[in-house]
Chains A and B, each alone.
Chain A
Amino acid sequence: MNHLRDWQKDSLWALLALLLLLALPLTSPSRVVVDFIIRLCAMGLLATSLNMLVGYGGMVSFGHAMFFGSGAYVFALMLQKASVSVPVALLTAMLACALLAAVIGAICVRLKGIYFSFLTLAFQMLLHSIIITWTSMTGGDQGLTGGIPRPVFWGIDLSQTQHMYVFCCVLAVGGLLAMRLLMQSPFGYTLRMLRDNEDRAAYLGVHVWRVRLYAFVLAGVFAGLGGVVMSLFVSGAFPDFSYWTMSGEAVFMIMMGGIHVFIGPLVGAGLLQIFNDTVTRFTPYHGLALGVVILLFTLGFQRGVTDVFRLFRKSSAAAGKESL
């Protein structure tokens, strides 16, 4: 494997993951697995795109869900109202997110630290208010209901579960691979430079604002892709997709999974989903349970699952020790 370039290795891993995912529903006839994976695809995209900003760029966005929501709404609206094909709707959604991120990013990225965080939160809630108010277009606080048309394209019929599953997996794996390649590219390392020492990067000739903006736009596009998957899953779009709780969950996913490893956020998303699904079965007080778990992680471990694994690997301590 060693004579392969990094990006080739990453692509192979992605292919492997995709094959595994496609094989998974064959192990169990129940819809539980399929539903879980599709939701994980959406949230995995959201969490990983947020980590491009937080973990790789040092930009803590509190409002990242605004792109998740935008992606979902634009996609669903294009299908419902403009009767376009799925690929066109998908591209339009991603383009819309890119534009939105470019405009909002141009304003936010100039600020530092907590002011950046607050401004992203403010924009997100502003968007949420617009979604709620513009009832004629968005269905207001009911969301876009009535299902979304799924015209067949390229022989793919998204109203069939299998097709839908494969499509979502391909989108998610493709999106994650793209993000991985971006983070391993020269751009990704310039972003890391900005995270570690923005001042020095400027003294080395880096256009700080510009690079940050690019990262913000890219993160927005991939979050939007996650929104598209979610929209397919719920057959519509809801204001909650752009609410602070969605952003908060995404933050928790990356904290829980680990911000220093690329798949950390995905791991966190998976764990959180497993936790949510399990706990809601036993008690209506899932907030209480989740809150306690978060406290355990933040005060106890103070780092994410994959971060802990990384430390164990480095310090050649007892192998095979569970991190949880």
Chain B
Amino acid sequence: MLRIENLNKSFGGVHAIENLSIDFAPGTLSAVIGPNGAGKTTFFNLISGGLQPDSGNILLAGENMVGLSRNAIVHKGIGRAFQVAKLFKSLTVEESLRAALQSALGRAAQMHGNFPLMATRDRAHEVMSQLGLQHKADTVSGNLSHGDQKLLDMALALVLRPKVLLLDEPVAGMGPDERTQMMDTVQQLWRQGGLTIVLIEHDMELVFRVAQRIHVLSYGKLLAQGTAEEIRHHPKVIEAYLGKAVEHTHE
């Protein structure tokens, strides 16, 4: 579904991503992990079009995304959620989702008629139910709790029916109960089918529990990839983390 081939990106003289090749099979739930500074967020930025690679290919269902703008890539089917939720603080949950949808329908610049468009109602309600936000539909985004903000952030990525969903640290800043809840939600989403999910996470326990495949980055290079069991005992991976205790909470 999403194939990365020989991806390279440098800033100044620093190789943020070096000759990276990863294959994300359709319908899988994968994780990308690595110590801080390994280039994970840069990786997501490259896939979603926030940055352009120096060389290499990013193939979504065989089609190369390199060179396309952010909004074009979104229309092709890559959705992205962010480490720090990027929300429309003055819009309510429902308004945010319906505004996002009208863009997918190509009606973002429609100047007649009232917002919200009827055509955006059903999908918005569907996604709100999927993520448990339906009771907060009329809450202004800026007033949501941190956990709900992350949910809305994910909802915004989901609402456009992406083929690939990129989740950047979905449980960042959450307490233990919230984390479990969030990860359950992610798993539920995945089980409903039709979605290839890639997540970046620091919380190893969650990653090992949930991810089918784990890819480890270090200094912009792919260090190892495999199942949770394989990664857990991989010597290079342990070395990369330099004997640091497995992180349970993310600061």
* A–B contact (CB under 8 angstroms): yes
Q: Is the CB of B110 within 8 A of A187?
A: yes
Interface pair B86/A214, CB less than 8 Å apart: no
Q: A211–B109 contact, CB under 8 A?
A: yes
Interface size on A, residues (CB 8 A): 30
- Per-position 1/0 for A177-214, Cβ under 8 A of B: 00001101111111011011101111111111011001
Min Cβ gap B166→A in Å is 10
The answer to whether B91 touches A210, judged by C-beta atoms less than 8 angstroms apart, is: no
**Min distance, Cβ A227 to any Cβ of chain B, angstroms:** 22
Chain A contact residues, majority secondary structure: helix
Of B48, B87, B103, the residue contacting A206 (CB under 8 A) is B103
User: Across the interface, do A186 and B113 meet the contact criterion of CB distance under 8 Å?
Assistant: yes
Contact (Cβ within 8 A) A204 B103: yes
Within the assembled complex, what's the spacing in Å between the Cα atoms of A204 and B101? 8
Cβ 8 A contact of A202, one of B70, B110, B113, B160? B70
Interfacial chain B residues near A13, Cβ < 8 Å = none
Give the shortest distance, in Å, between B149 (CB) and chain A (any CB). 12
Choose one: A7, A190, A202, A208; the contact of B114 (CB below 8 Å): A7
Instruction: Considering the complex, give the chain A residue whose CB is closest to the CB of B99.
Output: A189
Contacts A193-B88, A197-B86 hold; do A205 and B71 have CB atoms under 8 A apart? yes
Q: Which residues of the partner chain B approach A35 to less than 8 Å between Cβ atoms?
A: none
Q: How far is the CA of A185 from the CA of B116 in the complex (A)?
A: 8
Q: In the assembled complex, which residues on chain B have CB atoms less than 8 Å from the CB atom of A210?
A: 109
Q: When chains A and B are docked, how far (Å) is the Cα of A34 from the Cα of B91?
A: 39
A112 at the interface (CB under 8 A from B): no
CB within 8 Å for A184 and B114 given contacts A190-B102, A199-B86? yes
Q: Is the CB of A207 within 8 A of B88?
A: no
Asked if A5 lies at the interface with its beta carbon under 8 angstroms from chain B, I say yes
Check B90–A196 contact: CB distance below 8 A: yes
- The answer to whether B88 touches A197, judged by C-beta atoms less than 8 angstroms apart, is yes
Is the Cβ of A193 less than 8 Å from the Cβ of B91? yes
- Are A193 and B99 interface neighbours, CB within 8 A? yes
Knowing A5-B114, A202-B71, the reply to whether A189 touches B160 (Cβ < 8 A) is no
CA distance A211 to B82 in the complex (A): 24
- With the chains together, A199 CA to B80 CA distance in Å? 12
Q: Which of B86-127 contact A (CB under 8 A)?
A: 86-91, 95-96, 99-100, 102-104, 107-117
For A213-232 the 0/1 string (1 means CB < 8 A from B) is: 01000000000000000000
Q: Does B74 contact A (CB under 8 A)?
A: yes
- Of the candidates A5, A6, A185, A205, the one whose C-beta lies within 8 Å of that of B103 is A205
B115 touches which of A189, A195, A199, A202 (Cβ 8 Å): A189
Tell me the bound Cα distance from A185 to B117 in angstroms: 9
Q: Give Cα distance in the complex from A152 to B212, angstroms.
A: 79
Contacts of A208 in B (CB 8 A): 71
Q: List 29 A-B contacts (CB under 8 A).
A: A6-B114, A184-B114, A184-B115, A185-B115, A186-B102, A186-B111, A186-B113, A186-B117, A187-B108, A189-B91, A189-B95, A189-B116, A190-B109, A192-B91, A195-B90, A196-B89, A196-B90, A197-B87, A200-B86, A203-B71, A204-B74, A204-B156, A204-B160, A205-B104, A205-B108, A205-B160, A211-B108, A211-B109, A214-B109
Nearest 7 pairs between A and B by C-beta?
A196-B88, A200-B86, A205-B74, A190-B108, A205-B71, A186-B110, A189-B115
Give B contacts to A, CB under 8 Å: 48, 50, 70-71, 74-75, 80, 82, 86-91, 95-96, 99-100, 102-104, 107-117, 156-157, 160
| A-to-B contact residues, CB < 8 Å | 5-7, 181-182, 184-190, 192-193, 195-197, 199-208, 210-211, 214
